[in-house]
Amino acid sequence: MEAYLLDWANLLLRWLHVITAIAWIGSSFYFVFLDNNLLKPKSPDLLEKGVDGAMWAVHGGGFYNPQKYMVAPKKIHTELHWFYWESYSTWLSGFALFTVLYLWNAGTFLIDKSLMDWSPAAAISAALGFLVAFWLIYDRICQWFGFREKGDAIVGAMVFIVICVASWAACQLFAGRAAFLLVGAMIATAMSANVFFWIIPGQRKVVAAMTSGEPVDPKALAIHGKRGKQRSVHNTYFTLPVIFAMLSNHYGFLYTHKHNWAVLILMMLAGALIRQFFVQRHGWHHGRAANPWPYAAIGVAIIVIVIAGLKAMEPAPAPVATASTTNSVAASGQPAMESGPNNFKTVNQVLEQRCLMCHGAQVQMKNVRLDTPEAVKTNAQMLYQQVVVLRQMPMNNATGITEAERALIGEWFKAGARTQ
C-alpha cells in the first residue's frame, strides 16, 4: 500500500512540477524575447512618460503594445502583476518530488554502495548540502565580481568551474541517476533563490519608493534593477542545462557511463550555448548583436561529439549465459542456470535473485510483478527495456545483476519471451 501511494504522490507531484516549470520557463523566455525586441520610441508623449522601449505584437486574435520603463514610470499603477509564484511553485513542487522519490528511499535511489557506502541520513544531508553550498558560493561570486569590469565574463567562468566540480563530486558520491538530478536541482535552487532573495525584494523596494509620495532618486533605485537583471539573465542561461539534467536521469546509458560527470557537463554546456543563440538572435535581427549562429554550431557540435564518443566507448556485448558461465555462477554461490536463451527457467532464476525484492508478491514497485510466468509475460517488453536497453533496473544495480545476465534476458526476449 505504501509503494502504491508513493507512486501516486510521485505522479501527481511530477505533473504539478512540469506544469509550474512550463509557466516559469515560459515567462522567462518571453521576457528575454521582449527585452531583445523592444525599440526606442520616437513618440514625444512616450518619451515624456519615460518609456525606454516598446513593441507591437499580435497573438490570439488581439494586438499588444508592451512598454518598458528603465527604472519605473512616473506613476505606478495600483494593480501590478508580480512574476514570482511560477518560480516558487516550481521549486516547492520539485523539492517535494525529490523528497518523495529520492530522500524517502535514499537507500535505494540516492546511494550506490559501489561508490560510497554510507547511511541514508548521511547521504540525505550531503544531498541537501549540495543545494545550499552551491547557492552560497554562486551568490558570493555574483556579489564580489558581478559589477566589476568584465564582470559577466568573470562570473560566468567561475560559476561554470563550480558546476563542473559539483558535477564531478556528485557522480563520485551518489548513484548516477541521483547525481544528475541533484546537479539539476542544485542549479534550479539557485534560480529560485535569485527570485526570492534578489529580484522580488528589489522590485518591492522600487514600488515602495514610487508609491511613498516622497521624492525619488532614480540613481538610488537603479541598483535594484541592475541586480534583478543580472540574476534574471543568469536564470535564462541556467534553464536548458537544468532541463537536460532533469530529463537525462531517465536514460541509463548516460548516468551509468564511467565518465557520466563529463557527459553531464558537456551536455549542459551545449544547452547554455544553444540558449545563447536564441537570446542573441533577436538582437541580431535588429542589428544590435553579432551573428549568433556560431553558438548554435558549437552547441550542436558538442552534442554530436558526446553521441559519437559514447558509441565509440560502448562496451562489447556480454556473452549470453551458457553452461560455462552457469558453472562459474554456481561456483560463486549463486543459483545455477541452465543454458539457452529460450529457457525460461534460466531467466526466472535471474529474476528471482535480482528483481523479486521489489517486484514480487510482497512489494510491487510501480505496480509491476515478476513472480509468476503470467506476470513476466505481461511485463516482458518493460523488462527488456528497463534491464537491457535503458539499463535502469535494478535501481543502481543494488542486487548486482551481471552483464551476462542482462544479455541472457535480452536474448530470451528477442527469441519470443516464452514462459512455457
- Indicate the Cα dihedral angle 350, 352, 353, 358, nearest 10°: 120
CA distance 17 to 27: 15
Return the pLDDT at 1.
59
Task: Check: CB of residue 257 under 8 Å from CB of residue 263.
Answer: yes
Whole-structure pTM value: 0.82
Task: Check: CB of residue 84 under 8 Å from CB of residue 231.
Answer: no
Phi, psi of 405 (to 5 degrees): -70, -40
Residue with cell 560527470: 261
Cβ count within 10 A of residue 320: 19
Return the pLDDT at 316.
63
Looking at the predicted structure, is the pLDDT value of residue 324 above 50?
Answer: no
Lowest mean pLDDT among 146-155, 221-230, 308-317: 308-317
Segment 230-265, tens digit of pLDDT? 999 999 999 999 999 999 878 878 888 889 999 999
